[in-house]
Every structure is written in C-alpha cells, then in structure tokens.
Chain A
Amino acid sequence: MAVTLSFSPSTMKQYEWLLTRYPTRRAALLPTLRLAESEFGEIGVPEMRYVADLMEIPPAFVFGVVTFYTHYRRAGTGKYHIQVCSTLSCALRGSEDVVTRITERLGIVPGETTDCGLFSLSKVECLGSCDTAPMLQMNDDYHEDLSIDDVDQLIEQLRESAKGGSN
C-alpha cells in the first residue's frame, strides 16, 4: 500500500462522535469499520490496519471481527455488489432462477467478480424481505419481487450508469 490511509476531517468528526456514544472504545469498532468502508470503498488489510491503529485495538482482533461478519465490503468486491437472497422463502419463489440469469448475463458465478471489476455476485442469507421474494440487495438497495426481466433491466441500468459515471 503506497498511500497511507486516513479519514477525512468530516469522517474523523463522525468517528469522534461515535466514541461519545459508547462507554468503551471497542464498542465503536463495527460502526467505525462502516466509516472506513464508505471512506475507502472496502475493508481489506490496509483498512483493517488503519482502523486498528486509529482505535488502538490489536489488528488481529479487528481481523477476527471483520471475518466474522459477511456484510463488510471485502477487498476486491466489484463496484456493484449483487447479493441474491437464497434462503428458503426466496428459494421457494425462484431465487435460483435469478442467480442463474445473472450468471448468464454476467458470466460469473456466486463468489466471483467480473473481469472489468464492475460486478460481484453473491448468494446471501435471508434479507428480511421474504414477502417480496425473490429479491436481491445491490450495494445498499433492495430490489424486490424480481422477475427475470427485472434482473435484465437492473443489469442494463447498472451498465449504463457505470458508463455515465466514468465520463
């Protein structure tokens, strides 16, 4: 890592606010990792190290914590992280078809990222939206009651906005 990471002043302010909300510093670890995630785009080794040093928490502890949870954006995740709920209620209503369709369209299977780095595909567990199954979470947003057409449209839309974003 050539560049040393550091929080911007406004993130640092949020971090300091966080510390005031808990009786222990360590309790602010999960939310601070969220700050790091949005500031740096992902939680990889340098980001964990930065947070550990900032919070004066042993890096190994942070490593153990980050790998326990599945929802931090791990290093190498594509710009659009498509997380298809694959738990029972969604599976009963065709989540596997959604996955298959995405695989067809993007050429990646769950756990993979497209070569262009744009898309990552994951199967995830129940997202608390079983009444709108099948559904997926794309980055922060829920896409619900999915048909195969919806999946196609979503991918197109993301491709478009990626183009727009790069201009």
Chain B
Amino acid sequence: MAFRKIFTQHIQKKTCHTMAFYKQHGGYEQAKAALSKRKKPDTLIDLVKASNLRGRGGAGFPTGVKWGFVPKTTDKPKYLVVNADESEPGTFKDRLIMEKNPHLLLEGILICCKAVGIETAYIYIRGEFVFATERLQKAIDEAYDAGFLGNNALGSGQRIDVTVHRGAGAYICGEETGMLTSLEGDRGNPKLKPPFPAIEGVFGCPTVVNNVETLANLPYILEIGADAYRAIGPENSPGPKLFCVSGHVENPGTFELPMGVPLRTLIDKHAGGVWKGRKLKAVIPGGSSAHVLTADECDVAMDIESLAAAGTMLGSAGVIVMDETTCMVDAMLNVMRFYHHESCGQCTPCREGTGWLAKITHRIAHGEGRMEDLDLIQDVCDRMVGKTICALADAAAFPAESIVKKFKSDFESAIQNGGSPAWKKRHPSVVGGAASHA
C-alpha cells in the first residue's frame, strides 16, 4: 500500500483548517461511526490496542493499553487531557496539526472520548502558541455549532465538551502530571506516581493524557483498520509519523513519513542534507532529552525500537542536526541551561543537579574546565537518573552524559585551550541560552 499522508496531505491549501474543508475530505466520518450507539467502547479500545499505536509525546506508551487502565465503572467523571504543550526543544509537529488540521485532532478526541467514556476534554496548549490557540478555538466553535461537540455530540447522546487551556511558559507542563497540576491552576509541579493518571489524574479523577499527534492518528486507524495500520512501518511501532528536522540542514521542516524511515534519508533527502556542504557531526534524534548520536551512529531507523537499540530514543521525533563546525561543549551548555531553567525544582537531584551540570559546562566553555570535570559530569548524571518524581532529571542527564562521552575531544580541547572556540572568539554563537548565570 502506498504511504498516505494523514496530517499534512492538504496543508498547502488555504482553507485546510476549516471544518468545511475537513468534511469535504472525509472528515468526521470515523468519529460518526465510532460514536454511533451500536459501537461498543471496548471494541474501539481493542482496535487501538491491535493497531500498536504508540504515544507520540515522547514515552511511546501503547495508547490502547493506557486507555485500558482507566476504570470502566467509576462514580467519578473521567477526563481527557490533550498534551499540546510541545516544548521539547527541536519539536514543532503538534503546532502544525493544530494550525493546519485542527479538526483532525478534534475527531481524534471524539473517538477517544467514546472509547474511554469521557465527557470532558481539555487541550493543554503552551501559552506561546497564540495562533494555534486561535485556530483550535475556531475549530472547536465550528464543531459546537455543527453539534459535533456538546451535550449530544454527533447525535450520539454522549456529552463531549472540549476546552482549550493555555499554559503560561513552562517546559515541565509537557510532562503529563506537571500538565495536570498546571491544569488544576497550580504551579506545574509533576505529581508522585502512583497513583497514575489513569486512576487518579486531574481533579483526582481518572484521566487519559495523550499527545496531539497520537490522537490525530485515530481517525485513520478506524478508517483502515488495525492490520493495515500495523503494516505502516515496523509492526511494533507503526504508523505515519511527523518528523521534525532542525539545526544545520538545508531544508529544516516537518516531514510526514512512515515510522522507521532511515535517519540518513530523513536528513539527506527530506531535509536537504547538512547545510553549506558541510559534514555531519552529531544528531539528537528525539528532542533534546535524547542521547546524542555521532555521525557514525546515524544509520538507524527512526522508530521506537530501533532508536532504543541504538542507545537513544525516538522521543518527540525532534531531530536536531549539528554540522562539523559545532563545538559540542557549546551545544551541551545550551542544552544544560535549558534544563536548569526548566526544572520545576521540587526534587533535590533535579533542582540541584541541573544547575550543577550547567555550571560545570559553563566553566569548561569559558576556559576554566578541569579534566576531572568530565568524570564529575558523568557522576552527577548517575546521581540524577532515576531518583526523581518525573523524568526531567533523566532528560537532562541523557544528553549530558552522552555528549561528554561521545565528544570527549571537544571537551578536552576546551579544557586545554582556554575554552570553547566560540568563547575564545568572543563570539558565543551557540552558548547563549535563556537562563543566564551571574
């Protein structure tokens, strides 16, 4: 079967975001079928399980399995919270869906609500996405007007309400429980698990958290069936996928391709190759929280299992490409500043560890590094990983430990030669992160 784009097929069209356009192209048919009274919620969950759809937010958790954790009978309301926080550095795919194809997301939401028995859904969108918020809101208004949402969604008798909820600038609100606390009106501190959101999530009620892209897959799965869906890309992590390529490439952008596309093909063919005719140095394949790959390690397929086998992860599929001129000390400093700036600060290892890593890297980049700092970084990372409430500490440690290990010579050279080249040129083209150190 030829690969069919489901997210980006029509995005060149001016009116692609409208309900009229969407319906004209078969939109809402799957939701109508799903919400019909004859359709049993369990068959929907089974279908999604059988499809092997895995979460597109970062962790790659099987979506159907997650839905299955939600108690069938409960006297509490259940909620769907759509993760539209999209703040993983190098990731810009959900924004595309929301700006160009918002009804696809809404249709996915309707299907999920039917499957899990949910009446209230929130789309938690990062505060900076003003335009995407407007587009979404317009789409929701259209859907209410059409009776697709509301007390009798699509005539099903089921109430389904969708509310867009804007964040206010905090990466940690992309972590699912941080997002829930934030939605409750609080500081976005992640919650202790257990209890897991499926049992006790937002407002103390069973909650499904899914990424925008994950949900946007649902209409297609219903349309073509689990078997056909599983046949797209590798069986264990199949499906059409949005890959974001940024950094030192000729043609950065979002590319919709089957799961498992070779990383090299993605960079060289789709993203136009490394820019300015330069050579590849490093790639972070899954948003900045992933372990870095050297140029030699880039013969890998872009799917969950292959990247895990390569010692990194698909994560959010934000592929950040660095060319041969990149000083990895500067790159690491930038990344460490990010995590330092974004740690919510609850857990001691993350609050202190992210700052410490940033300070050590800063020192090395600015010519005050010591050889023993390299072991120290490794050790600080070991002391952070797996000891915190959420995975942000790990997300900071993974790039740190891998960059130092794999690009040791950049660090040695900065230590021996009085700092990173950029620092020495007094031209810190990469070092500047948002969080500044006094």
Give A contacts to B, CB under 8 Å.
21-24, 26-31, 33-34, 57, 61, 64-65, 68-72, 86-89, 91-97, 99, 110-111, 122-133, 137, 140-142
- If A30-B182, A130-B318 touch, whether A96 touches B428 (CB-CB below 8 Å) is yes
Of the residues B129, B288, B320, B434, contact of A124 by C-beta under 8 Å? B434
**Chain B residues with Cβ under 8 A from A86's Cβ?**
334, 432-434
Residue numbers in A under 8 Å from B436 (CB-CB): 110-111, 123
- Secondary structure class of chain B's binding surface, majority of residues: loop
B171 beta carbon closer than 8 Å to chain A: yes
Tell me the residues in window 337-370 of chain B with beta carbons closer than 8 Å to chain A beta carbons: 338, 341-342, 344
One of A24, A28, A64, A130 near B246 (C-beta < 8 A): A130
Return the chain A residue nearest B162 by Cβ. Answer: A21
* Nearest-CB residue, chain A, relative to B247: A92
Instruction: Kindly supply a per-residue 1/0 record for chain B positions 290-303, scoring 1 wherever the CB is within 8 Å of any chain A CB and 0 otherwise.
Output: 00000000000000
> What count of chain B residues pass the 8 Å CB interface test?
64
CA distance A70 to B244 in the complex (A): 25
Contact of A31 among B165, B252, B254, B331 (CB under 8 A): B165
* Most chain A CB atoms below 10 A, which of B86, B88, B169, B170: B169
Within 8 A of A (CB), among B207-257: 244-248, 252-254
The answer to whether A69 touches B167 (Cβ under 8 A) is: yes
Which residues of B lie under 8 Å from residue A87 when comparing CB positions?
89, 288, 334, 338, 433-434
Q: How far is the CA of A132 from the CA of B335 in the complex (A)?
A: 19
Q: B344 — which chain A residues lie within 8 A by C-beta?
A: 68
Contact B184 A96, beta carbon cutoff 8 Å = no
Q: Mark B315-332, 1 if CB is under 8 A from A, else 0.
A: 000101010001000110
**Which residue in B126, B161, B188, B430 is a CB contact (below 8 Å) of A128?**
B126
Contact B169 A70 (CB under 8 A): yes
Q: Return the contact of B187 from the options A34, A68, A71, A132 (Cβ within 8 A).
A: A68
CB distance from A98 to the nearest CB of B (A): 10
- Contact partner of B127 among A69, A126, A133, CB < 8 A? A69
Say if the beta carbon of B59 comes within 8 Å of chain A.
no
Interface string of B106-148 (1 = CB under 8 A from A): 0000000000000000000011111100000000000000000
Asked if B186 is at the interface of the complex by the 8 Å CB criterion, the answer is: yes
B166 touches A30 (CB 8 A): yes
Q: Which residues of A contact B171 (CB under 8 A)?
A: 125-126
Q: Are B432 and A96 in contact (CB under 8 A)?
A: yes
> Given that A24-B185, A65-B185 are known contacts, is A130 also in contact with B326, CB under 8 Å in the complex?
no
Cα distance, A120 to B326, chains bound together (Å): 30
Could you list 18 further interchain pairs (A-B, Cβ under 8 angstroms) beyond the known A27-B203, A31-B165? A34-B127, A65-B187, A70-B170, A86-B334, A88-B331, A89-B320, A91-B430, A92-B246, A92-B247, A92-B320, A92-B322, A92-B331, A125-B171, A125-B434, A126-B88, A128-B94, A133-B246, A133-B247
| Closest beta carbon of chain B to A111's beta carbon, Å | 8
Partner of B185, one of A30, A34, A137: A30
- Supposing A89-B247, A131-B245, A131-B252 touch, asked if A26 and B185 sit within 8 A by C-beta, the answer is yes
Query: Contact between B90 and A130 (Cβ–Cβ < 8 Å)?
Result: yes
A82–chain B nearest beta-carbon distance, Å: 13
Which of B128, B161, B284 touches A71 (beta carbons < 8 Å)?
B128
Partner of B130, one of A89, A92, A96, A141: A141
Any A CB within 8 A of the CB of B195: no
| B84 nearest CB neighbor, chain A only | A128
Question: Which residue, of A64, A111, A128, has the highest number of chain B Cβ atoms within 10 A?
Answer: A128
Q: Within 8 Å of chain A (Cβ to Cβ): is B15?
A: no
* Contact with A23, one of B170, B203, B427 (Cβ below 8 angstroms): B203
- What residues of chain B lie closer than 8 Å to A123, measured between beta carbons? 432-434, 436
Partner of A131, one of B166, B185, B246, B431: B246
